[in-house]
Amino acid sequence: MRTVTSVEAQNRFGELIDSAQREPVTITLRGRPVAFVLSPEDMRALLAVRAQRERVVSDFEAFFRSADARLKSEALELSDRDVQRMVNELR
């Protein structure tokens, strides 16, 4: 990934946009990354991964809500230590 300073980005904006079509470009200010310039294709891919992650997290949370709803009252009273002890006993 190419890195340029904010001053370089301002002075060579056209070149920066051309470079971003080939690979993402990091823009730094005082040595720290402050922005990224990327192609529309890379942005679409990034947004697709983000959307997929959100769906997976939502499904994961729904699964655990469903599992929690089926727990017996005795299970709800178990502490983490109790569960850990039972798992160790089964090994």
Q: Which structural domain range is residue 34 located in?
A: 2-38
Cα–Cα distance, 13 to 11 (Å, whole number): 6
User: Which pTM was predicted?
Assistant: 0.66
Q: Are residues 47 and 16 in the same domain?
A: no
Q: For position 12, what pLDDT does the model report?
A: 97
Q: Are residues 56 and 28 in the same domain?
A: no
Q: Are residues 46 and 62 in the same domain?
A: yes
Q: What is the pLDDT of residues 43-90, one digit of tens each?
A: 999 999 999 999 999 999 999 999 988 888 888 889 999 999 999 999
Q: Are residues 46 and 58 in the same domain?
A: yes
Q: Are residues 31 and 46 in the same domain?
A: no
Count of domains forming the chain: 2
In a domain, 55, yes or no: yes
Beta strands at 32-37 and 2-5: parallel, antiparallel or unpaired: unpaired
Q: What is the pLDDT of residues 3-48, one digit of tens each?
A: 999 999 999 999 999 999 999 999 999 999 999 999 999 999 999 9
Q: Are residues 64 and 52 in the same domain?
A: yes
On whether the CB atoms of residues 21 and 43 are closer than 8 A, the answer is: no
